[in-house]
A and B are shown apart, each in its own frame.
Chain A
Amino acid sequence: MVKRIICIAAILYLVAIPLTVRAQNEGRPPKRGESSRSGTAERDRLSQDRETRGIDARRETSAEERVRIGRERNSNNNEAKADIVRSDVDRTRNEADRNIEPRIEYGNLRWGWVHIEARHISGEHPTKGAGDLFTLGATKQQLEDAARSIVRNGERISDRFRRIQVFEKQIEVNGKADLVRVVVDSQTNNRVITIFPVRSK
């Protein structure tokens, strides 16, 4: 009799536990990677979607929070500070990029290759004559190579936020070493205005 009761209790126990667990599981989504007895792949996917949306929502919230904090901070700033920021933005926009390779365009007697050739190679500038000259026969390619090296590695002479930038470097051009300055227009991708040797410094 006792054995029969124990057997029935054991059977009931074995049957009841899985049912209880199953009933509890019905109320929650399965954890990621958990293989639900009744769950399907679709249910897993939907569950993961819900989880992902939750993460995105948290990200959105924190981004909104950051914007709100930023706005609060900005509203606390005075006008002068805002002006400085605006001014810095404008200035940064003007800043010459040393990585943009300077190029010598044809130009005219005031700037570019025509000016450089007349003023600093042949010396046959019609109104001003010869300035300080590179060695005769210096080519546009040699000067362009020099300009590239000076802009990239030379000393910046001008204020870094000016549109017209001046750089300087000791460099050999067509067999002669000189202190050479190059002037570029940073807003036209470092168009070379002039390049010339400095002999007085």
Chain B
Amino acid sequence: MPLSIKITFDLQPDEPLSGFELGHIEISNGIRSWSSQDKTPDQAMMIFPSIVNLLDGLRNILQSESQGKFIWVGVDSSFSISFVRGDRNKMSVFVEDVLAIDADSSQIAEWIYRPINAFLDQHIDLLQPNDPLLSDLQVAVKDFLPVLYNLNPQLPSEQDIKPQKGELP
């Protein structure tokens, strides 16, 4: 069963989207799910900087030969996910100290990246052009992609998936 991630936040209809908007992350292994929502105290996080930190941190542990663990904590929150490297490119993901999944690093990288990319596809254009998060998000994705494709050479590239500008989908 693959790991799935769902990112949500409440858009205010009368206000432009901010890079520091608070929202929630839900992670599921198909059997059980963990969410930052409905917690006391509230564990909403600044979604965009949290995504940047997640991609950067995961990239570091996937690239590093010495780093064995990466604990991601949502920005403005205490909700955390731990990534622990195992033998033979295996990686374990713990949420709230419970093992969520044990799988190949390449799969985990893809399971994390795909929903984030889909979320950004929907929302990044809603950020103001001068938003402080815009460049960080773009660079974090750009830096993560080579690691993802290096681990998953069989994956079609983004250009293969997305229609080019001017082309019909």
Contacts and interface: CB of A to CB of B under 8 A. Distances in A.
Contact of B53 (A128, A166, A185): A166
8 contacts: A128-B44, A158-B53, A159-B143, A161-B139, A166-B49, A183-B46, A193-B20, A193-B46
Interface residues of B, number: 32
Interface of B: 10, 18-22, 41-44, 46, 49, 52-53, 56, 60, 71, 73, 75-80, 96, 132-133, 135-136, 139-140, 143
Given A183-B49, A187-B132, A131 B77 contact: yes
Contacts of B78: 132, 197-201
A158 B80 CA distance: 15
A200 B42 contact: no
Contacts of A201: 71, 73, 78, 80
A138 interface: no
Interface of A is mostly: loop
Given A164-B136, A187-B132, A158 B41 contact: no
Nearest to A157: B53
A163 B79 contact: no
A159 B55 CA distance: 10
Contacts of A164: 19, 49, 52, 132-133, 136
Contacts of A133: 41
Contacts of B56: 158-159, 162
B20 A111 contact: yes
A110 B18 contact: yes
Contacts of B73: 157, 181, 198, 200-201
Contacts of A111: 18, 20
A183 B28 CA distance: 28
A113 interface: no
Contacts of A187: 132
B132 A163 contact: yes
B19 to A, nearest CB: 8
Contacts of B143: 159
A128 B21 CA distance: 11
Given A127-B22, A181-B73, 7 more contacts: A115-B20, A125-B42, A128-B42, A128-B44, A131-B41, A183-B49, A194-B20
A199 B133 CA distance: 25
Contacts of B79: 200
Task: Name the residue among B19, B20, B46, B75 with the largest chain A CB count within 10 angstroms.
Answer: B20
